[in-house]
A and B are shown apart, each in its own frame.
Chain A
Amino acid sequence: MDRDLVTRLRRGDLSAFEELYRQQSGKLYNVAFRMLGSAADAEDLLQDVFLQAHRQIHTYRGEALLGTWLYRMAVNACLDHLRSRQGRQQKATDFFEDLAIPEPMASRSWQPDRALDRLDLEAAIDRLPPSYRMAFVLHDVEGHEHHEIGDLLGIATGTSKSLLHKARLRLRTYLRGAPPSEAGRTASAAGSGDAVRRGA
């Protein structure tokens, strides 16, 4: 099925791009929205991804599904976007490190014995440093395995695990307040002991 579609895409047939858009836009938009935290940025990114697909479809070799090829393009575009956004404040080499001390959110509804409100969680995800957010969104929201995340982001599987660990603890701190226990502090220390490196 992909082969016919790819043939039409390579011919520049706009109806083929529409078909691709119908199949993939929802998934791409959602991951972009979660990563970038705004509908306008996610729409811009979606447009960039389809334009990029239009220009690069001749490089598609069919080694992965077309949807996977496009998804990888979208994740990389998110990564570039976040890097350029962060680059204004910080060196690019620091992208996968975050040394800031997390501050709890101003209003927290996740009190003991109360359910976690999804809006609070979404607001907390938006506050995560970019690398943590990417790991959390890809693993816990999108459901990818660590080896897939490593492949998508160009990082080692262990790095993906470490980022996710830190992301979850950071979210807990945002939502619950300061680490409430010895266990939280110990878990933070355990997470920070992992090697965090790029492109491994």
Chain B
Amino acid sequence: MNTEHQADMTCRGLASVVNDFVDGTLDAAARGRVDAHLASCAACRALAEDLQTLTRTAAALPAHKLRPEVWGRIASAIAADRPTPAASGLAAFWTGWRVAAAMAAVAILAVTASVVVLRTPPQPATPGQAPAVHQSAQDTVQAVDEHLRIADEHYQQAITQLEKLVATDQAALDPAVAATLDKNLGIIDKAVRESREAIKAQPNSQLAQTSLFEALRQKVALLEDTIALINTMRKGDQAGAARVIGGLSKS
């Protein structure tokens, strides 16, 4: 023990109060004795500084982000546990979502366009009309429902097209990569099913809708990346393929 430098507190004494010291719960007199000991004992000073750094870093750890599709799964489980009547319509509830639905539909058109560019000969663009992005603030709940339905349809149409392209050209993929992609698609499909169940139980749930569209968006992104990978491998661009696979693992 390093007791030669201080009369009032030993290293053992310090050890018994070091957590209270670090947590700031010592009274002034005890803190003074600790400070005096730390001023003359390098080992105890290093211990106290390390514990202070530990607690400071722990308190500042960033929050983990919860995936938006989780609510769909939970809502589905609760609904299955005890069926509940659907919630009543809330027009104000949908205000922000109307914009999101329109954006989703616009995004899907962009995805479809990129697929068309990748293919030779070009495939026909997604059928149907894109919903208008700009809507007046006085739109009714029915109009919102219609936008959601259209956005969902656009996603489904794009997914169908993308799946056809992938099915046609999947042989170009390494079997291990293809298996990983299949597994990931299976996980996303499960999330889509659970989200649809949640919406069935709770048609007005914005979280359930977000869950569904997030899962659909992920599916489109994964299929789009798969096609990009197929095209890159066809060109013999191994480095490009590695980059795409790297991106897949992050999606």
Contact = CB atoms under 8 A, between A and B. Distances in A.
A121 B75 contact: no
Interface in B1-57: 1-2, 11-12, 14-16, 18-19, 22, 41, 43-44, 46-47, 50-51, 53-55, 57
Name the residue in B14, B75, B204 with the highest tally of chain A Cβ atoms < 10 Å from its Cβ: B75
Contacts of A141: 58-59, 61
Interface in B148-196: none
A81 interface: no
A118 B87 contact: no
B71 A183 contact: no
A190 B18 CA distance: 10
A118 B57 contact: yes
B78 A50 contact: yes
Interface stretch (B62-70, B110-118, B129-137, B220-228): B62-70
Contacts of B19: 161, 164-165, 168
A17 B75 contact: yes
B242 interface: no
Interface of B is mostly: helix
B46 A181 contact: yes
Interface stretch (A23-31, A66-74, A90-98, A147-155): A23-31
A116 interface: yes
Contact of A172 (B41, B54, B60): B54
B59 A186 contact: no
Contact of A18 (B70, B82, B207): B207
B74 interface: yes
B86 to A, nearest CB: 8
B84 A12 contact: yes
A172 B16 CA distance: 17
Contacts of A178: none
A168 B60 CA distance: 16
B78 A17 contact: yes
Query: Contact residue range for chain A?
Result: 35 or more
Contacts of A30: 63-64
Interface string A12-40: 11110110011001100110011000010
Interface string A39-50: 100110011001
B15 A168 contact: no
Contact of B207 (A22, A29, A122, A190): A22
A55 interface: yes
Contacts of B81: 51, 54-55
Nearest to A182: B43
B54 A116 contact: yes
Nearest to A122: B61
Contacts of A184: 43, 47
B73 interface: yes
A140 B64 contact: no
A18 B202 contact: yes
Contacts of B204: 15
Contacts of A17: 74-75, 78
Contact of A51 (B18, B67, B77): B77
A65 interface: no
9 contacts: A11-B84, A13-B84, A15-B204, A17-B78, A47-B77, A50-B78, A116-B54, A172-B51, A190-B16
Interface of B: 1-2, 11-12, 14-16, 18-19, 22, 41, 43-44, 46-47, 50-51, 53-55, 57-64, 66-67, 70-71, 73-75, 77-79, 81-82, 84-87, 201-202, 204-205, 207-208
Interface of A: 11-15, 17-18, 21-22, 25-26, 29-30, 33-34, 39, 42-43, 46-47, 50-51, 54-55, 115-116, 118, 121-122, 125, 136, 140-141, 143, 161, 164-165, 168, 171-172, 175-176, 180-184, 186-187, 189-191
Q: Closest 7 A-B residue pairs measured CB to CB?
A: A181-B43, A15-B87, A187-B15, A190-B15, A183-B43, A140-B58, A12-B84
Given A46-B70, A168-B55, 18 more contacts: A14-B84, A15-B87, A15-B205, A25-B70, A29-B64, A33-B64, A46-B74, A50-B74, A50-B78, A121-B57, A141-B59, A164-B19, A168-B51, A181-B44, A181-B47, A183-B41, A187-B14, A187-B15
